[in-house]
A and B are shown apart, each in its own frame.
Chain A
Amino acid sequence: MSIAKILEIALRTGRVTRRYPYEPPLLTPEFRGAVKIDPSKCWGCGACVKVCPPNALTLKPAGKEVTLEYFVGRCIFCGMCAEVCPAGAIEVTKEFELSSASLDDLKSRVIHRLTRCSICGSPIWTEAELRTVVKSSPIAEEYTLVCPKCRREKLVKAAKLRLGAGSE
């Protein structure tokens, strides 16, 4: 009697499991998967790196360049990076099938060249970011070529001169 009940349910429902991966997975349109970074849009500002909870996104400076690295193996698919990206360079995809024979396949990189301070030569920011800032406010251009430290020193020197301290 009791067995008959569950049999009735079973016969009515039939088979519910899918033959994945031979059939498409059950994804809803709202599914959040791995992210994709568009290198042509990215400025290398690092906002995504700051917000990323599992450190899947990192900024690694090396010489004249800085590399934004996305390691999908650490990614938790939260999509916070796409939310904060000021350039709209990050897109949340539906990708979740990550298996691969090599670890390097799980990493994607965007390499940015750094600009240098015209006085001391230390790296300031990426060329892409400089272009974006200058484009949005052209007046900023002369400030963008000097690093904050040198700019401060320049300002102090100018103020001293104005106050009549003379040059040292």
Chain B
Amino acid sequence: MKNESVLSNTVKVLEGLGAVVEEVKDSEVYLRATRESVRAVAKALYSSGAYLRTCAGVDERELSGMLAVYYIFGLDEQGVDVVLRVLVPEGDPWSASIVPDVPAADWCELEVRDLLGIDFRGRLTKRLVLPEDWPDGVYPLRKEFKYDEKPSRVLREELPEEAGVPVGPYHPALHEPEYFELYVEGEKVVDIAYRGFHVHRGIEKLAESQRFTYKQVPFLAERICGICGFVHSSCYVMAVEKAAGIAVPERAEFIRSIVLEVERLHSHLLWLGVAAHLLGYDAGFMHAWRIREQVMVLAEYLTGSRKTYGINLIGGVRKDINTEKIDRVLKTITDLRKEFTELVKAMLAVPQIKSRASGTGVLTKAEARALSVVGPVARASGLYRDVRKDYPYLAYRRVSFKVPLYTEGDNLARLLVRVDEVFESIEIIKQLIDVLPDGSIMVEEYDIPPGRRAVAAIEAPRGEDVHFVITGVGRPYRWRVRAPTYQNIPALRAMLRGNPLADAPLTIASIDPCFSCTDRAIVLDVKSGRMGVIRLK
């Protein structure tokens, strides 16, 4: 898969534009660019076929005396991460924005600006992550800011960005709050505005505080998401293991992969149920969740907990699989396959499901590419992207599976991708169980030297999850998490514009945005100024 000559050619082009090679590792290339040259380098990299995975701001004053921005690109075809590091002096903190050429960097640059105080030139900037009442000039990711510090609130009048646009209510107590403003003309959506991050919990900061150690962070990482928590804890431990060069026993890698696939099964079944519910087909919802229950019980039987499995540690896993468990897994997935096939058949035979899902919320391949969308959303728009194939990790090298690909880019395609993935996951689990190697499940002795860097990625049920780690003493120096939905929400604008309002709930749901997040949306008729709230649940 890895083609050295293509890679070295790309690197040569980038060097010609002013980038300097810092470090070359097995699947990572670290480059440094100046803040003036970064835009040209990023442009060349992006147009050469690299996807933007994320960017991360790091307060490196203790290491290099500067603030730094890391742009993490992925060359899917080579399976190599290209990390572009830009150093920014503390006294004059600005850097050239890459957003004009790499639109996918929009959010993460704003996040760096909010949390680290680096200004980006050549783009529109606004506050994204920090709340309105957070004081100016206080940057929580700088090291002098204590993790449990509470700066005094600044009360300011919230000025509407456009005249006549009221800001709707937020309700942080209801699930996870995210907020969409849909601008409509009659029944047609003409634009959307999105506001999120109301429940930014500062998990990254917490993990680098004295309160946590390397061993405790997996349990924190698992709580980033209530649905794909195991993805996050696996991704964190993989990043640290990669940075420190810890060789994990093969059996532990297999167990992690099996549990990851079990998690995908429950997540996709959950989504399918919710999608049916949104389409008014509650019988489908109930049966999808009935089938899902056996996956939840299986997860508890394998790990000790229905969710937040808690079996990942750096160096391996805490719970082994015995023959009894293997029998139970095989029985469950065989039953599941039978019941799921039947349910999908019954569901897709309902004419309304197909007619409402097909042709709505279309995301074209070009738009999907420009925004570097991930997971089922990308695969439904004809992008062949799957971390399990592109950057094989854990035991995925050892199994064969298909990556479902649809080109329609509509809600039905996204639904079918997930349906197909359920069958693929069942096959993957079968294959993994078949060739499960013997041996230990944990290395006890290891050493994590400070100052090492690594990028790890996992294909979560919602798409690519990326963790970037710089090791420190006793705990990570910097730990950056990019959840898949972060990359997919910006694509909603393209999906919703020009579509009937009635399709909006399903379209928003179709990216599987850690579902509880999408609680409500406000509708504003641009012509009459009439306002109302549609509930997504």
**Which A residues form the contact surface with B (CB < 8 A)?**
1-3, 5-6, 9-10, 13, 16, 26-32, 51-55, 76-80, 83
Contact = CB atoms under 8 A, between A and B. Distances in A.
B23 interface: no
The interface size bin for chain B is 20 to 34
A76 B310 contact: yes
Contact of B290 (A2, A3, A16): A16
A6 B287 contact: yes
B96 interface: no
Contact of A2 (B287, B310, B319, B346): B346
Dominant secondary structure at the A interface: loop
A54 B303 CA distance: 19
A138 to B, nearest CB: 30
Candidate in B284, B308, B310, B347 with the most chain A CB atoms within 10 angstroms = B310
Dominant secondary structure at the B interface: helix
Interface stretch (B214-222, B260-268, B478-486): B214-222
B287 A10 contact: yes
Interface stretch (B100-108, B293-301, B513-521): B293-301
12 contacts: A2-B351, A6-B284, A6-B287, A6-B347, A9-B342, A10-B287, A30-B301, A31-B304, A31-B305, A54-B219, A77-B305, A78-B219
A3 B349 CA distance: 9
Nearest to A32: B304
B297 A28 contact: yes
A54 B346 CA distance: 45
B534 interface: no
B61 interface: no
B301 A28 contact: yes
Contacts, number: 63
Contacts of A32: 304-305, 310
B304 A30 contact: yes
Contacts of A27: 300
Given A53-B219, A77-B310, A2 B349 contact: yes
A59 to B, nearest CB: 15
Contact of A9 (B216, B287, B302): B287
A54 B297 CA distance: 25
Given A1-B349, A9-B287, A83 B318 contact: yes
Contact of A6 (B220, B318, B346): B346
Contact of B219 (A1, A29, A76, A83): A76
B346 A5 contact: yes
Contacts of A76: 219, 308, 310
Interface in B266-290: 283-284, 287, 290
Nearest to B304: A32
Contacts of A52: 216
B343 interface: yes
B536 interface: no
B150 interface: no
A10 B283 contact: yes
Nearest to B352: A2
B279 to A, nearest CB: 13
Nearest to B289: A16
B201 interface: no
